[in-house]
Amino acid sequence: MRKILFDCDTGIDDAVTLLYLASLVRAGEVELVGVGTVHGNVDSRTGALNTLRVLELAGIETGVPVAIGAGRPIAQDVHYAVEWHGGDGLGDTRLPEPQGRPVAEPAPAQIVRLARAAPGELTLLATGPLTNLAAALLLDAELPALIREVVVMGGAFDHPGNITTHAEANVWHDPEAADLVFSAGWPVVLVPLDATHPTAVHDDWLRRVAAHDSAAARFATRVLDYYADAYTPTLKRRGAVIHDALAAMLAVDPGLGEYAERAVRVELRGELTRGTTVWDARSVPAEDSRRPVRIAVGSDVAAFQDRLLSAILSL
Ligand code: RIB
Ligand code: CA
């Protein structure tokens, strides 16, 4: 039973990932101990309300505290990805207010409290900018020893960036936070664009979701329709890349991925390259004092798409 603490910026692929996690919770395979939200696709408060909306729609009305986290990055202005996720973060679906409310505890404090309550048991799954994780590390220097594993959707290595030519959005939104997370010494699995882009879903897959008569499938269809409209110009045919769901799936079933082990650094000063994730890909890399990160370089795409579809249709 994986105990997952989810930190996200609930936009569209984060929302579909919540559906995936909800299906695993209801199947008794995962315990979702809490959710924290962070600036990124949308502001952190909207992300929290979106998270509550999706959990309620997936039949998880209570028992999962949703905490609002950092409203801005450490060292740059905040930026929202409205063009990809809509003004409300959920494809301008304008869903009604959720029944539940976010908890008063800030997300970084929730990370520290829940890690201390279950030392060595939590998988910290992060699919937004890493500001909350960085803040939690500053709050509690012992945190790296208290967390079982950190799984991050972010970065790009042999794949172009998606917010600048080199930088991936989650890392670009807060490069200082990302560099702190990659150098903290805890076990990190990084799921970059190199692994997520090959999992793009297309009309055949989207039609199978649309054909299912449930509130969850109708919601997924509406938000993925918006996301596919935004994504299609960057793909060869209509489709969308549900990045965050791959990170969640590899957190639950690491055997679905292929990995390289390399120390990862983040460019903080380059005028054109700030937010770029850098690994030493030489066959004999230079000695790096940082603990290597497990970087997903590929995955079982068919298994990913089948399992995500089954999860959505199970709700
Ligand atoms: O680069 C993709 C990532 O940025 C995903 O987590 C998406 O939700 C956005 O946050
Ligand atoms: Ca995200």
At 256 the pLDDT is 98
Mutate to test the pocket of ligand 1, among 6, 10, 12, 13 (most ligand atoms within 8 A of CB): 13
pLDDT in tens, 50-68: 999 999 999 998 899 999 9
CB atoms within 10 A of CB 295: 23
Pocket lining: 243 vs ligand 1, CB cutoff 6 Å: yes
CB atoms within 10 A of CB 255: 8
Q: Which amino acid is present at 181?
A: V
Residue that is written with structure tokens 């509130």 in the block: 215
Ligand 2 centroid from CA 178, angstroms: 14
At 82 the pLDDT is 87
Instruction: Give 260's strand partners.
Output: 295
pLDDT in tens, 213-237: 999 999 999 999 999 999 998 898 9
Q: What is the mean pLDDT of the chain?
A: 97
At 62 the pLDDT is 85
> Is pLDDT of 243 > 90?
yes
> Is pLDDT of 258 > 90?
yes
309 Rama sector, left if φ>0, alpha if ψ -120 to 50, beta otherwise: alpha
> Is pLDDT of 162 > 90?
yes
Structure token pair of residue 5: 């603490």
Residue 79 designated active-site: no
At 91 the pLDDT is 96
Query: Which of 39, 85, 173, 243 does the annotation list as catalytic?
Result: 243
> Is pLDDT of 175 > 90?
yes
Pocket lining: 264 vs ligand 1, CB cutoff 6 Å: no
Residue 247 CA: nearest ligand 1 atom is: 6
Structure token pair of residue 179: 């560099």
At 122 the pLDDT is 98
Quote the percentage of the chain above a pLDDT of 90: 95
Among 93, 111, 102, CA closest to 51:
102
At 61 the pLDDT is 87
Ligand 1 centroid from CA 248, angstroms: 13
Q: Are 141 and 169 in contact (CB under 8 A)?
A: no
Among 98, 90, 42, CA closest to 69:
42
Pocket lining: 168 vs ligand 1, CB cutoff 6 Å: yes
Structure token pair of residue 145: 């020893």
Residue that is written with structure tokens 């105990």 in the block: 3
Is pLDDT larger for residue 61 or for residue 113? 113
> Is pLDDT of 305 > 90?
yes
The reported pTM is 0.98
Among 21, 27, 194, 10, CA closest to 102:
10
